[in-house]
Amino acid sequence: MAEDAASRERFKIMERKLYWGIMAPGAALTLVFGMWLWLGYGFTGAWLYAKLGVVLLLVAYHLYCGKLLSDFARDRNTRSHLWYRWFNEVPVAFLAVAVVLAVVKPF
């Protein structure tokens, strides 16, 4: 919702630092430690494959966030602030499903 150029440039820097400084390393570490647990303990069951599906959806979400970051950097944002507020809730739903699958192991 920023109107002036200085604010937009500041947000571009903040977004880039968030994505590459926090989100990308966090995603990589999550995948590495998840594989370590899976290979080290040998979990089995259909619930695990469902959870891996959710993890793949989260990876796709992360990559799409990278595309949005690229659009912001080129001033090609076409979405409203309301869309981003809802888009921000998507990983919360995915993570809740992943936790329920890991704890309850419904199948």
Position 107 pLDDT exceeds 80: yes
Split at pLDDT 50, 70, 90, the class of 90 is very high
Q: What amino acid is encoded at 88 in this protein? A: N
> pLDDT tens-digit profile of 58-67?
999 999 999 9
Q: What is the CA radius of gyration of the chain?
A: 17
> pLDDT tens-digit profile of 17-49?
999 999 999 999 999 999 998 888 887 888 889
Q: Can you list the pairs that 75-82 forms with residues at least 24 positions away whose Cβ atoms lie under 8 Å?
A: 75/8, 81/1
The pLDDT of residue 40 = 86
- For the chain, the domains span 5-104
